[in-house]
Chains A and B, each alone.
Chain A
Amino acid sequence: MEQNKSKDSLPITFEQLVAGYEFPPSRYELKLSVIAKYLEAVGKPSKLDSLASEFVPPVAIAAYTMTAVLQSLSLPPGAIHTAQELEFLKLVPVGATINCRGRVARKLNRGKLHLLVIELNALNQDQEEVLSGQATIVVPG
C-alpha cells in the first residue's frame, strides 16, 4: 500500500490525547493493485467486480483512515473498537489519491474504562470530502 504520512513521529500515547487533537494526516494512492489486494483480503465475490474495478469500496477508504489514526496512536492492550459510524459522500475512482485525517472528538472517563471518540474523514485530490465518520474505542483504565 502506498502511504505517505505528512510527518514522522512517535505514536502518541492514550494519556497524552486531549479532545481536539489532530492525528498526522496520511495520503494513500489507491492504485488498482492496492484495491485488488484489499478486495482479495475481504473475499469480494466476482459478481461485485464490475463496480469494484471502477470505484474504491468506501469501507476500504474507512479502513485506510482508521489505519492512519491507529498507526499514530499507542493504545494499551485490551482497547476495543466498539462502535463505528460512516457516511459515504462521493465516489472515489480507482487510481485516486486520498488524504485521511482523524481528530479526537471526545475523551471520557467511565469508571474503570475510558471512552475515546475519534472523528474521521477523507478528502480527494480536489479537497472534497469523500467520507466522514466516527470511531469509538473503549480503553481499560
Chain B
Amino acid sequence: MSVLNQELKLSDLHQGDNLSSVVRHITQRDINRYAEASGDFNPIHIDESFAAQTPFGGTVAHGMLILAYVSEMMTAAFGKSWLVGGKLSVRFKAPARPEDILTITGKIDSIEHKENVPYVNCGLESHNQRGETIVIGKATVKLCS
C-alpha cells in the first residue's frame, strides 16, 4: 500500500491491511555514514575494537537508523499525514548488526474517529534474516483532511 503523490483516501484503508514492507541490508559503511549524518559517533556503532569489548561483542546500528526505515515505510503508506500527524512508540528488542538484513513490516490494527478526525493505528515489527525481532511497536497516524 503506497499513497505517495496521490490523495490518501480513508475508504482505501482497512483494518488488517499490510503496509508495503521495507527491506534493508545494513553494512558497517551504512552505519558509519549514518554516524556522519546524525553526528552520533558513539564508538559502540563505529569502533569495532571498542565494541568487541562490550556486552554487544561488536558494533551495532544506531536505533534511530532503524527508526528511519520504519518512518520510510510509514511515509510511503501515509504521506504527509505521517510527517505532521504521526506518533510512534517502539521497543528495541535486539541490536541490528552489520550484514543484517532487516525487514520492516506494518499492519493496520484499527481505524478510529475522535471528534470526526480519523486515526489509523498500526502495529510495527522489524526482523533480521534469522527471524529475530529487532524492533516492535505501534504507530498512530492522524489523517490530514
Query: Which A residues have a C-beta under 8 Å from some C-beta of B?
Result: 1, 3, 37-38, 40-45, 47-48, 50-51, 55, 57-60, 62-64, 66-67, 70-71, 77-78, 80-91, 140
Q: How far is B44's CA from A140's CA once the two chains are assembled, in angstroms?
A: 15
Most B Cβ at <10 Å: residue of A42, A66, A90? A42
A87-B87 contact in complex given A51-B79, A57-B75, A62-B67, C-beta closer than 8 Å: yes
A88-B85 contact in complex given A66-B64, A67-B38, A78-B55, C-beta closer than 8 Å: yes
Q: In the complex, what's the smallest C-beta–C-beta distance from B139 to chain A, in angstroms?
A: 9
Partner of B40, one of A58, A67, A84, A86: A67
Q: How far is B38's CA from A87's CA once the two chains are assembled, in angstroms?
A: 19
The answer on a CB contact under 8 Å between A91 and B80 is yes
Q: In the complex, what's the smallest C-beta–C-beta distance from B8 to chain A, in angstroms?
A: 13
The answer on a CB contact under 8 Å between B64 and A37 is no
Additional A-B contacts beyond A41-B65, A59-B67, A64-B39 (16; CB < 8 A): A37-B37, A42-B37, A48-B4, A48-B75, A51-B75, A58-B83, A62-B64, A64-B38, A70-B40, A77-B44, A80-B92, A84-B88, A84-B90, A86-B86, A86-B89, A91-B83
B44-57: CB near A (< 8 Å → 1, else 0) gives 10000010011110
Residues of chain B lying within 8 A (CB to CB) of residue A55: 80, 83
Q: How far is B70's CA from A50's CA once the two chains are assembled, in angstroms?
A: 18
